[in-house]
Chain A
């Protein structure tokens, strides 16, 4: 699954640590999400969407 996390984070000038703090996850988890090698659970995806104020489908795109 592709996502726009890195772009959205960069637009806000947030570091990975800042985003990790806001989502209450580790920086390693943010890195894994941004590289697209870890897909978040639905609760975490909703939390990300709420934080960036955007619908989930504009942040995460299915590659299939």
Chain B
């Protein structure tokens, strides 16, 4: 039988993983920079934040498209499953927590925010819950199929 020659090339999966790690590092640096600026009480002008956000979103969309084309069909299936079931379950849990959370407790924790502040806080909480659900569903999809 002919033996397939193992080529010493970086697979598409590995490139995709490196892209993700690179994005994570970039996100971490941006977050750390923002936190540092906040600590040093450096006021970043709103136009800079707006332009930076738009550029970041455009880069993220492009990187996501490249990543999606690099991964194979099973990896895509895992992401679709995680997006639907993990994201939905995460949102459901977040909404249930939101429904039973006492507003006095939130005010004590975050202060008396403006409506826009509460909106951003709620959106952030929802995003975190959906991301956790996504991660768990994604890991579960692969774990079940590796045994």
Counting chain A CB atoms within 10 Å of each CB, the highest count among B2, B7, B145 belongs to: B145
> Are A38 and B145 in contact, with the CB atoms below 8 A?
yes
| B146 contacts chain A at the CB level, 8 A cutoff | yes
Interface residues of A in 1-19 (CB under 8 A from B): 11-14, 17-19
Q: Which residues of A contact B75 (CB under 8 A)?
A: 26, 28-29
> Are B142 and A28 in contact, with the CB atoms below 8 A?
yes
Bound Cα distance A18, B142 (Å): 20
| B77 contacts chain A at the CB level, 8 A cutoff | yes
> Are A35 and B145 in contact, with the CB atoms below 8 A?
yes
Q: Which residues of B contact A33 (CB under 8 A)?
A: 74
Q: Which residues of A contact B6 (CB under 8 A)?
A: 17-18, 21
Given known contacts A38-B74, A38-B77, A26 and B11 CB-to-CB distance under 8 angstroms: yes
For B, the interface residue count at a CB cutoff of 8 angstroms equals 20
| B104 contacts chain A at the CB level, 8 A cutoff | no
The chain B residues found within 8 Å of chain A, CB to CB, are: 1-4, 6-7, 11-13, 71-75, 77, 142, 144-147
> What are 23 contact pairs spanning A and B, CB under 8 A?
A12-B3, A14-B3, A14-B4, A18-B6, A19-B4, A21-B4, A21-B6, A22-B4, A24-B12, A25-B73, A26-B71, A26-B72, A26-B74, A28-B74, A28-B145, A29-B72, A29-B74, A31-B145, A32-B146, A35-B147, A37-B145, A38-B74, A38-B145
Q: Which 3 A-B pairs have the closest CB atoms?
A: A32-B145, A29-B74, A25-B72
Seed contacts A29-B72, A31-B146; 9 additional CB < 8 Å A-B pairs: A11-B1, A12-B1, A20-B11, A25-B73, A29-B73, A32-B142, A32-B145, A35-B145, A38-B74
The chain A residues found within 8 Å of chain B, CB to CB, are: 11-14, 17-22, 24-26, 28-29, 31-33, 35, 37-38, 40-41, 44
